[in-house]
Every structure is written in structure tokens, then in C-alpha cells.
Amino acid sequence: MLKLSEIYTIGHSNYSFDKLVEMLKKYEVNCVIDIRAVPYSKYNDHFDKEIIKYSLNKAGLTYIYMGYEFGAKRDNRSTYNEMGYCDFNKLIFDDQFLKGIDRLKKGLQKGYKIALLGAMKEPIRCPRSILLGRYLEDIGIRVKHIVHSGEIKTQVEIEHMLLEKYFPDRNQITIEDLIGTKRTEKEMIEEGYRIANKEIGYRLEHKK
């Protein structure tokens, strides 16, 4: 499939605002799209929605809030599964999510260099890779995750991180190897996404 363009992602973690901007400008990002469902930080108020918007604009970057479209906490109850947490395999069919994707495409077509902003330092603990990184790659948009070191991790590297986290013993010989029932690497990656989704998807106390 023809790739439309590329999108960056970053987590603000407990960085200073200047460090965040430095990491973004290293890759010439000029538009930050905030995907946090709750765009406020208990310990780093310089990342609160109104403050970061003002600060980014002052630094010459556009700020757009799209937590309603891309956050892991949803108003649409149909995006939650029977276990009560937001299921990303359901969420990607949500109208609000798909409208958000269309807005991203239009932004790319206009020439914006976009970074999706989450809260977590590690991409595998954030919807920016487990939800959006996976989906965007599937529709032909290359995703580049800016990590703590300031370097880039691809979505393929994120998937390797999932394997390392959830299947550290995958290369050992087991009974499943002997009887021919061992999961393939692709199946383990799929399972890794599901486990990560369960850990980070917003959970309803009572699903009705």
C-alpha cells in the first residue's frame, strides 16, 4: 500500500517543557496532537492542556487536542468488551475514532509534520503505539516513536518489545514445539497487543 506520509509519537513523561520541545524540534515536528483522554498531569502541571497549548504555540508549534477521538477512555460503551475495559479492536471501528483518522490524513496532506502526544515515557505502555501506531501502519502511514534517548523506534521495534516483555522464553524448546502447537511469532505479537491493551485500556467499574 502506498504510504501517505509519516507520523511521530512522544510521551511527555516527567520531562521539562524545554526538553519536550527539543525532542520534537530534532525531527522538525510543527504540530502536536494531544491524544490523552485526561489532558492533565498530577505532578507536571506544565503539561496541563491549557498550559501546554499556550507554551507550544509560543514555541512555534501548533497544538490540537484529540483525546476524544484517540484516548483510551470512551463515551461509546460499545467500545468496551465483556471484561469492562476499552477494547482497541472495537475502538478502531468507532465513528469518532475514524473521523479523527481522517483529520490526521488531512493534516498530513497539508504538509504538517505531526507528533502524537501521550503521557507515558514507554511507547508500549501508551495508546500511541498499542492503538494508533498499529492502526496507522496498517493503513499505510509510517509511525516513528520518539523515545527517552531522543532516538526513534519503529512499530516493528515496538512489536519486538512486546515479544520481549510478554514472551521472554519464546525461543526455548517446549512441549508445544514437540507436539506442533507452538504459537507463531505473529500470533505472539497479536497476543502481546491484546495484553498491552488490557493493561492500558480504560476500565469501567460497572459495564452495563
- Give the position of cell 517446549: 174
Question: Tens of pLDDT along 166-182?
Answer: 999 866 666 665 565 67
Strand, coil or helix: what is 116? strand
Cα(108)–Cα(85) distance, integer angstroms:
31
Domain extents in the chain? 6-200
Give the pLDDT of residue 104. 97
Question: Tens of pLDDT along 51-108?
Answer: 999 999 999 999 999 999 999 999 899 999 999 999 999 999 999 999 999 999 999 9
When pLDDT is averaged across residues 114-124 and rounded to a whole number, the result is 97
Give the pLDDT of residue 1. 39
pTM for the model stands at 0.90
Which residues neighbour 33 within 8 Å (Cβ) at sequence distance 6 or greater? 64, 65, 66, 70, 104, 107, 114, 115, 116, 117
When the candidates are 3.10.580.10, 1.10.1060.10, 3.40.1010.10, 3.40.50.970, the CATH number that belongs to 6-200 is: 3.40.1010.10
In this structure, which amino acid lies at residue 135?
Y
Which one, of 164, 101, 85, 107, lies nearest residue 138 by Cα?
101
